[in-house]
Amino acid sequence: MAREATLVIIKPDGLKKSLTGDILSRLSQAGLKIIAAKTVKVSESLAKKHYGHLSDRPFFKELLRYITGQLHGENRVLAMVYYGESAISQVRQIVGATNPEEADPVSVRGAYGRILTTGLFENVVHASSSAEDAEKEIKLWFAPSEVVVNLYPCKVITLEKVEQKVWA
Ligand code: IDP
Ligand code: MG
């Protein structure tokens, strides 16, 4: 099996419950490398792109409120790319099943997830579920310059009159 990359997001409930250290230490047992990491304020537009495939599900609106931090008063997630042998399946195993009640109790979601009264699965962490999804998601969340391994083909473009915030 070749090396592959996968997107991991510690969702607002994971940050609110201070679970980052525990999640990272569980993931470190997979022997993968973190090749990108940043905190992100999730916009409505990013949330809709990330969860676009679920737009016709009854919990979609609540899912957008969840990932944009409106359920936790915490508009902040930690996004990371893990890289290595079978990264996608290894991380999914550590993270556990989508439904926290069905997830292995020793997995992250089994240990810390819950089902809200609205029915939404509040499951602490996102992990890509296929190579195709991983590529789409990594390209959505990270620019090539933010990832230390050249994962996918890139091109160079010249921008004119780009406004950018820099330190004063
Ligand atoms: P995944 O996160 O395990 O890949 P997806 O099907 O991609 O699962 O769903 C994205 C997120 O939407 C889940 O992590 C969970 O928060 C929520 N979700 C998915 N399916 C359901 C459901 O049937 N009921 C409630 N929430 C769900
Ligand atoms: Mg998914």
Quote the tokens at residue 33.
């490398």
pLDDT score, position 24: 98
Q: Flag whether 48 is in a domain.
A: yes
Q: Residue 101 belongs to a domain with what CATH number?
A: 3.30.70.141
Q: Flag whether 94 is in a domain.
A: yes
Whether residue 66 contacts residue 120, with contact meaning beta carbons closer than 8 Å, is answered with: yes
Q: How many domains are contained in the chain?
A: 1
* pLDDT tens column, 62-96: 999 999 999 999 999 999 999 999 999 999 999 99
Residue 167 neighbours by CB under 8 Å, 6+ apart: none
126 lines ligand 1 (CB under 6 A): yes
Task: Give percent above pLDDT 90 in the chain.
Answer: 98
* pLDDT tens column, 113-156: 999 999 999 999 999 999 999 999 999 999 999 999 999 999 99
Q: Flag whether 158 is in a domain.
A: no
Tell me how far the alpha carbon of residue 66 lies from the centroid of ligand 1, in angstroms: 11
121 lines ligand 1 (CB under 6 A): yes
Q: Flag whether 166 is in a domain.
A: no
**In terms of DSSP bridges, do strands 77-85 and 114-115 run parallel, antiparallel, or are they unpaired?**
unpaired
b/e map of 23-40 (b: 16 or more CB within 10 Å)?
beebbeebebeebbeeee
Confidence check: pLDDT of 1 > 90: no
Tell me how far the alpha carbon of residue 129 lies from the centroid of ligand 2, in angstroms: 6
> Which of 50, 53, 72, 126 is the catalytic position?
126
Q: Flag whether 160 is in a domain.
A: no
Q: Flag whether 37 is in a domain.
A: yes
Q: How far apart are CA 130 and CA 1, in angstroms?
A: 14
Domain that holds residue 26: 3-146
